[in-house]
Amino acid sequence: MRFPFYFKTIKDKKVFYINIMNKHQRKLWIAFAIVMLFSFGVLGYFGIEIYQEAPPIPEKVINQNGEVVLTAADIKDGQNVWQSIGGQEVGSIWGHGAYVAPDWTADYLHREALFLLDYYADAEYGQSYDNLNAEQQAAMVVRLQTNIRQNTFDKTSKTLTISNERNLAREYMDAYYSKLFTDDSEFDQLRKDYAIPVNAVKDPVRMKQMNAFFFWATWATVTNRPDSDISYTHNWPAEDLVGNKATTPLLAWSGVSIILLIFFIGVLIYYHVASKKHGELPIPQEDPLSNGEPTKSMTLLKKYFWVVCLLMILQVLLGILTAHYGVEGQGLYGIPLDKILPYSVTRTWHTQLAIFWIATAWLGTGLYIAPAVGGKDPKFQVLGVNFLFYALLIIVLGSMFGQWLGIMQKLDLAQNFWFGHQGYEYVDLGRFWQIFLFAGLFIWLALMVRPLLPVFKTEQNHKNLIVLFLISCAAIALFYGAGLMWGRQTNLAIAEYWRWWVVHLWVEGFFEVFATVVLAFIFVRMGLIKSRTATNGALFSTIIFMSGGVIGTFHHLYFSGTPTAVMALGATFSALEVVPLTLIGYEAYENYQLSGRKDWLKDYKWPIYFMISVSFWNFLGAGVFGFIINPPIALYYIQGLNTTPLHGHTALFGVYGMLGIGLMLFVLRSIYRNVQWNEKMLKISFWGLNIGLLLMAFLSLLPIGIWQAVESIQHGMWYARSSELMQQPMMIVLKWLRTIGDVIFAVGIVATAIFVFKLTIKKK
């Protein structure tokens, strides 16, 4: 770089350059602060809007004769009953949940519409709706829409009035679902198709209450908001019979999101290329991590990684069983396993264990990084690491047992909320276990801060990187607290708002920031990236991700009873959720390629390979498959279809899981420096996981998702999730094809566990 100044010495020029870089870094910190304040200000402001404009729960529902047919207590208790049987792990509501059973709101709405059309046709013409001519059918549809879309909720008295014929439809649906969720033999095959066990709801009173909740949740999907012609869920699900069609804002904001995506990809690439000119660093001749011995607390981390491997194996076994329920809904090759482990239990554990083992791998990495940077264990660090380990074990096992008790209907509704199953995907554990985990995260935060405080006071080169690291650690502890913001009977729209704070901001947001900084630390300590370059890169990546990621939380809430502004903001800002880890992974890959002659780097071959795979899955799983379900118009038709687990598997495991394994391998390489690694086992692990995940996606999840999307556009969401479609012979073949990828993937998981156990039981 040429400067229009005269420098007397090289030292003067170096000082000037450092000052320039410090100014640049200060600007990045200022930008970071502005982004965070603005983003959370917007998220909070529209959170208040969601509270104010959520679909109202009436104090009572009356028919035209003034008779009370439902109460608020029925609806709220019904929501708790639905949660107790698995909630979003048994079908879905408003598109959020599991995929074997229907979306209950889409299913209810379609069946209710057909009942009313037949009722009107019989009253008017003495025959069924299907037997009318086109003109007569059109008249019946207009009549239906006039009745069903009108908002008859009185805000003053908090009373909802429904027509007598709609009350008859409600009673019909009550009888239908009562037979489905209990033991009526007429519904045996449908229960099998939906993977619902016999007597999933054992108490008739509970069944009546759950039906009340289904009625209210469906009412919100079709009833126009006050002074609007759009329903509370923005006309989701698509259903022509009741006039639920895509709106103009859906199309407009979808276009905006695509344009912004293309624009900011260009900006990111430009910045990456422009920033490379000061990032080069000569590769060290020897491993910089080879000096010094691991501290006592670091050596204890092997038991964390044992748990990671055991939970991975258990999660895969539960995943295989959960997937099998899609073709044999009540058993495993004739064994009636659903009597003790129904689908809702296996899916709950499968998704929850993914969060647990990935988080354990990342938290373990943090417990290594802090004393590694500090150079020693503070007092009681060993005690803290041991205590946290056993606390996490109790949380994992205790919450799993509580969820089983809840789904098996062995707890009352209050007990289920506290110790059983909350029914919200990824945050299913009971409130007691949530609080326990929240406390555990603060213990972990203390274990992060204490070793770094002395370094922060004395170290200048890494100071900004340490600050960013501590911010990400604090955010991981603090933002899990969002899961405590809803109560036992909180309105579903409000509970969904806070749930996505945990799932999106905690899992996808601050854990990603944490991972970006951890990788920066590792590569700096390995001598692959300059500290200043790593800090600037981590700050920039965080700014970019959080610019879209915080407000982009709203893209999960398009159809969850939120106001229209939420959709506009979600579509606009979620397009900015570019992939920051790709940059650092690419940087590491470049340095690795340039330094093939350095023998010591070969020791880090497999950890770096896993980082490279993170970049690949970030592009495919989080990027391509994520954006497929991101624009409002796309999500309108495919929310709750197999395109969602396609993104979920390839992003959650492909990005966060691969990263967790890569970080674990980095830590193990540092702790077990003089031990020969089993290259063959790591090769099986790496390629088994990546090839298996790829085949799982392209042989099964993607084709099923595309097929469902086509049917959803043509016939509606109800059909895309129906047994009529999902049990077709070709659909069953596509489900079985997943076995190929699953088996290869499982081999990779087992190979990973074998490698870790063999390595860690050896003497150093």
> Domain locations in the chain?
60-242, 623-764
Give me the pLDDT at residue 453, please: 84
Give me the pLDDT at residue 668, please: 93
Q: Write out the DSSP string of 538-552.
A: HHHHHHHHHHHHTGG
Q: Say whether pLDDT at 465 is over 50.
A: yes
Pinpoint the alpha helices (H) of 375-461: 381-407, 413-419, 431-458
**Each residue's pLDDT tens digit, 130-161:** 999 999 999 999 999 999 999 999 999 999 99
Give me the pLDDT at residue 562, please: 86
Q: Say whether pLDDT at 633 is over 70.
A: yes
Are 681 and 755 in contact, with CB atoms under 8 Å apart? Answer: yes
Give me the pLDDT at residue 433, please: 97
Distance CA 544, CA 147 (A): 47
Inter-CA distances, 192 with 100, 101, 340, Å: 10, 10, 15
Give me the pLDDT at residue 7, please: 38
Higher pLDDT pick, 750 / 530: 750
The residue among 67, 228, 251, 64 whose CA lies nearest residue 149 is 228
Query: DSSP E strands: which ranges in 656-709?
Result: none
Q: What is the phi-psi region of residue 578: left when phi exceeds 0, alpha when psi lies from -120 to 50, beta otherwise? A: beta
**Each residue's pLDDT tens digit, 61-71:** 999 999 999 99
Give me the pLDDT at residue 290, please: 59
Q: Write out the DSSP string of 179-228.
A: HHHTT-GGGHHHHHHHT--TTSS--HHHHHHHHHHHHHHHHHHHSBPTT-
Distance CA 673, CA 289 (A): 9
User: What residues pair up with 96 in beta bridges, in sequence order?
Assistant: 93
Residue 750, classed as helix, strand or coil, is helix
Pinpoint the alpha helices (H) of 54-96: 72-84
> Where does the pLDDT of residue 598 fall: very low under 50, low under 70, confident under 90, or very high at 90 and above?
low
The residue assigned the tokens 């490379």 is 276
Give me the pLDDT at residue 423, please: 96
Rounded to a whole number of angstroms, the distance between the first and last alpha carbons of the chain is 48
What type of residue is 695?
L
Q: What mean pLDDT do residues 328-347 have?
A: 90
Distance CA 365, CA 518 (A): 8
Two tokens at 301? 């981390």
Backbone phi and psi for residue 198, each to the nearest 5 degrees, phi listed first: -60, 135
> Where does the pLDDT of residue 6 fall: very low under 50, low under 70, confident under 90, or very high at 90 and above?
very low
> Where does the pLDDT of residue 1 fall: very low under 50, low under 70, confident under 90, or very high at 90 and above?
very low
Q: What mean pLDDT do residues 381-390 have?
A: 95
The proportion of the chain whose per-residue pLDDT surpasses 90, expressed as a percent, equals 65
Give me the pLDDT at residue 16, please: 40
Give me the pLDDT at residue 288, please: 62
Distance CA 720, CA 733 (A): 17
Q: Say whether pLDDT at 579 is over 90.
A: no
Give me the pLDDT at residue 283, please: 63
Two tokens at 623? 């990027």
**Each residue's pLDDT tens digit, 708-756:** 999 999 999 999 999 999 999 999 999 999 999 999 999 999 999 999 9
Give me the pLDDT at residue 617, please: 87
Q: Say whether pLDDT at 581 is over 60.
A: no
What type of residue is 264?
F
Q: Say whether pLDDT at 3 is over 60.
A: no
Backbone phi and psi for residue 528, each to the nearest 5 degrees, phi listed first: -90, -25
> Where does the pLDDT of residue 5 fall: very low under 50, low under 70, confident under 90, or very high at 90 and above?
very low
Q: What mean pLDDT do residues 480-485 have?
A: 94
Distance CA 700, CA 739 (A): 9
Q: Say whether pLDDT at 588 is over 90.
A: no
Angle at 87 between CA 81 and CA 91, to 5 degrees: 125
Higher pLDDT pick, 626 / 109: 109
Distance CA 513, CA 539 (A): 9
Mean pLDDT (the chain) is 88
Q: What share of the chain is helix, strand, coil (3-state, %, to 5)?
A: 75, 5, 25
Higher pLDDT pick, 587 / 107: 107
The residue assigned the tokens 């213990």 is 443
Give me the pLDDT at residue 718, please: 96
